[in-house]
Amino acid sequence: MLIDGHNRVVDYLRVSVTERCNFRCQYCMPEKPFSWVPREELLTYEELFEFVKVSIDEGIKKVRITGGEPLLREGLDSFIKMISSYKEDIDLALTTNGYLLPASAQKLKDAGLKRINVSLDSLIPEVAQKVAQKDVLEQVLKGIETASNIGLKIKINCVPIKGINDTELIDILEFCKQRGFPVRFIELMENTHASEHVKGLNTQEIQDIIKTKYNFTKLERVGSSPSQDYKLDDGYVFGIIEPHKDDFCATCNRVRLTASGVLIPCLYYEDAQSIKEAIKNKDIKKAANILKDVLKNKPEKNRWSEISSDEVSNRAFYETGG
Question: Residue 29: which of ligand SF4, ligand SAM, none does it interact with, CB under 5 to 8 A by kind?
Answer: ligand SF4
Give me the least distance between CB of 297 and ligand SF4, in Å please. 27
Give me the least distance between CB of 216 and ligand SF4, in Å please. 27
> Which of 69, 168, 187, 229 is the binder for ligand SF4 (CB under 6 A)?
69
Q: What angle do CA 31, 32, 36 make, to 5 degrees?
A: 155
Cβ atoms of 117 and 158 within 8 Å: the answer is no
Assign 154 to helix, strand or coil: strand
Give me the least distance between CB of 15 and ligand SF4, in Å please. 14
Q: How far is CA 114 from CA 64, 108, 150, in A?
A: 11, 9, 10
Per rule CB under 6 A, is residue 29 in the interface with ligand SF4?
A: yes
Per rule CB under 6 A, is residue 80 in the interface with ligand SF4?
A: no
HSE-CB at 275 with a 13 A cutoff on CA atoms is: 33
Neighbours of 5 (CB within 10 A): 13
Question: Residue 321: which of ligand SAM, ligand SF4, none does it interact with, CB under 5 to 8 A by kind?
Answer: ligand SAM
Q: Which is nearer to ligand SAM, 100 or 278 (CB)?
A: 100
Cα 113 to Cα 80: distance, rounded to the nearest angstrom: 7
Per CB under 6 A, contacts with ligand SF4 among 3-22 are: 21
Tell me 102's DSSP state. Answer: H
Per rule CB under 6 A, is residue 23 in the interface with ligand SF4?
A: yes
Neighbours of 134 (CB within 10 A): 15
Per rule CB under 6 A, is residue 186 in the interface with ligand SF4?
A: no
**231 beta partners:** 217, 237
Which residue's Cβ lies closest to ligand SAM?
322
| Footprint of ligand SAM (CB under 6 A) | 21, 27-28, 66-67, 69, 95-97, 119, 157, 159, 186, 188-189, 191, 194, 317-318, 321-322
> Which of 198, 209, 318, 320 is the binder for ligand SF4 (CB under 6 A)?
318
Q: Which is nearer to ligand SAM, 191 or 302 (CB)?
A: 191
Alpha helices in the chain (DSSP H): 45-58, 76-86, 101-110, 125-132, 137-149, 169-179, 203-211, 276-280, 284-296, 317-320
Binding site for ligand SF4 (CB under 6 A): 21, 23-25, 28-29, 67-69, 97, 119, 317-318
